[in-house]
Homo-oligomer: A and B are copies of this chain.
Amino acid sequence: MSNAKLAKEFEKIVGAGGVLHTESDLHSYSYDSAVLNPAVPSLVIKPTTTAQLGPVTRLCNEHGLPMTVRGAGTNLSGGTIPHPGGVVVLTNGLNKILEINEEDLYAVVEPGVVTAQFAAEVAKRGLFYPPDPGSQAVSTLGGNVAENAGGLRGLKYGVTKDYVMGIDFFDVNGDLIKSGSRTVKCVTGYNLGGLMVASEGTLGVFSNIIFKLVPPPKASKAMMAVFDDIDKASETVAAIIANHIVPCTLELLDHVSIKYVEAFTKAGLPTEAQAILLIEVDGHPAEVADDAEKVVNICNKIGATSVHAAETAEERESLWFARRNALPALARARPTTVLEDATVPRSQIPAMIRGVNKIAEKYNIAIGTFGHAGDGNLHPTILCDKRDKEEFHRVEEAVNEIFEVALSLKGTLSGEHGIGMAKSKWMVKETSQATLDYSLRMKRAIDPKGILNPGKIIEVS
């Protein structure tokens, strides 16, 4: 069928305004936040109701049209780069919060609801939705589920997966599949909601998502510890956990990151430091006081050059503003920013950091490292220029080696950014060929024509 005829078919479902096909529309949705080549779709569809997602998916399946569902496109692994000539389906029109149940501590949302807006609405009702990925100001909840987005609070509160109670989604036939429940316990049938988590749009098209909510902590305290040696900082991370303190946030910035962040934010970070830890404990006020005191003692014992607790809400905001700007600050340094996501058991953080620094030296590239030290989830960020082929080749070699180091430390390729198109070729190293085969058998049964976001997670050879 010609593109124009297909457009007419889609218009019957979503209306004339819901089908975008100008050159500029198509190019706008040809890339995401990953450092990968764009691919131009043939049509962009913008449904206005979740019910339209069923017929849209069915139509794609009937015509064997590759279909990529896109929220805000903040994906860092190419999960929302469309298949060339395929269809992009936008969820930003599907942004209703359908229910926030204060008695039963859950919410039901459409997939296009923006993460931070949802968290704010939940907070207004005196409740708490903890997952806070770096892109939360624009990222959507559907995308968060599809990628199992993490964030700064993963250590104590877990990641998106830990808040998914159920998902209703459309299969390739356009039929609605129901999984999970509004109850906190549910074992009715396969854990299909769990299967959707991190499936990157390859197994179904989300209609509604039920999220667990929790009561918010009554108090919190943020601290900054400064180190003249990054090893001491990473030892401190391990010591805090070993002392059975579970901060809600335990973040590290290395020297390179600190320099760029301070230049960008003027937050007052100590630019001479080799590393800083940003630590926040929360909970009952007495617990917060106890934990904060213990954290300060541990930092001092291991050799922090200073430890400072934020005394005001403003001071606290300033610390987190600095951390949240680590990526934008680093991204300003060079034309290309390769943000890595290899993750290790947290006790291996010192070894991982040493490994990354050796790799930076070996390949003569600039790497700024920051991230969720408490989760073992660091983001070594390579500052480079993709147009410089010789340099970018060294970058690719370095990324390879970063994965090797993470796996040798019993870590994983990706803590929270997903596999997408960026990392599928490394999957077999961490898992096994049998694991890919098992996944592929499942995928082919669920999506025989391979229309659901093809080329993501598993490289089909």
Alpha-carbon gap, A106 to B244, bound state (A): 13
Number of copies of this chain in the oligomer? 2
Contact yes or no, B416 A183, CB < 8 A: no
Contact yes or no, B185 A439, CB < 8 A: no
Min CB distance A100 to B, Å, is 13
Q: Does A161 contact B (CB under 8 A)?
A: yes
Q: Does A24 contact B (CB under 8 A)?
A: no
Min CB distance A405 to B, Å, is 14
Chain B residues with CB under 8 Å of A103's CB are 238, 241-242, 345-347
Q: Does A434 contact B (CB under 8 A)?
A: yes
Chain B residues with CB under 8 Å of A159's CB are 185
Q: Does A460 contact B (CB under 8 A)?
A: no
Q: Of B106, B189, B439, B444, which is within 8 A of A190 by CB? A: B439
Which A residues from 41 to 98 make CB contacts under 8 A with B? none
Chain B residues with CB under 8 Å of A372's CB are 185
Which of A194, A197, A238, A446 is the most central at the interface, judged by chain B CB atoms within 10 Å of its CB? A194
Alpha-carbon gap, A446 to B104, bound state (A): 36
Alpha-carbon gap, A71 to B445, bound state (A): 30
Q: Does A297 contact B (CB under 8 A)?
A: no
Chain B residues with CB under 8 Å of A270's CB are none
Contact yes or no, B411 A181, CB < 8 A: yes
Q: Find the B residue at minimum CB distance from A180.
A: B412
Interface size on A, residues (CB 8 A): 92
Chain B residues with CB under 8 Å of A435's CB are 177-179, 189, 192
Contact yes or no, A177 B432, CB < 8 A: yes
Which A residues from 414 to 455 make CB contacts under 8 A with B? 414-419, 423, 427, 430-432, 434-439, 441-442, 444-446
Chain B residues with CB under 8 Å of A417's CB are 187
Q: Does A139 contact B (CB under 8 A)?
A: no
Q: Of B173, B185, B242, which is within 8 A of A434 by CB? A: B173
Which A residues from 2 to 30 make CB contacts under 8 A with B? none
Alpha-carbon gap, A166 to B155, bound state (A): 17
Alpha-carbon gap, A177 to B190, bound state (A): 18
Q: Does A101 contact B (CB under 8 A)?
A: yes
Q: Find the B residue at minimum CB distance from A416.
A: B185
Q: Does A199 contact B (CB under 8 A)?
A: yes
Contact yes or no, A148 B415, CB < 8 A: no
Chain B residues with CB under 8 Å of A198's CB are 187, 189-191
A347-B150 contact given A286-B287, A415-B185, A431-B188, CB 8 Å threshold = no
Contact yes or no, A178 B345, CB < 8 A: no
A415-B187 contact given A192-B435, A214-B246, CB 8 Å threshold = yes
Q: Does A457 contact B (CB under 8 A)?
A: yes
Min CB distance A307 to B, Å, is 22
Q: Does A397 contact B (CB under 8 A)?
A: no
Can you give 7 contacting A-B residue pairs, CB < 8 Å? A148-B187, A175-B438, A186-B343, A186-B414, A194-B197, A284-B290, A285-B286
Q: Which 10 A-B pairs have the closest CB atoms?
A: A445-B445, A194-B194, A286-B286, A175-B434, A284-B287, A215-B244, A185-B415, A103-B347, A104-B345, A181-B412
A residues adjacent to B (C-beta < 8 A): 101-106, 126, 147-148, 150, 154-155, 159, 161-162, 171, 173, 175-179, 181-192, 194-195, 197-199, 203, 214-216, 238, 241-242, 244-246, 283-287, 290, 343-347, 372, 375-377, 410-419, 423, 427, 430-432, 434-439, 441-442, 444-446, 457-458
Given A148-B187, A186-B343, A284-B284, 19 more pairs with CB closer than 8 A: A103-B238, A155-B184, A171-B434, A173-B434, A177-B432, A178-B431, A181-B411, A182-B345, A182-B411, A184-B375, A185-B377, A187-B414, A188-B419, A189-B436, A190-B439, A190-B442, A191-B197, A192-B438, A441-B445
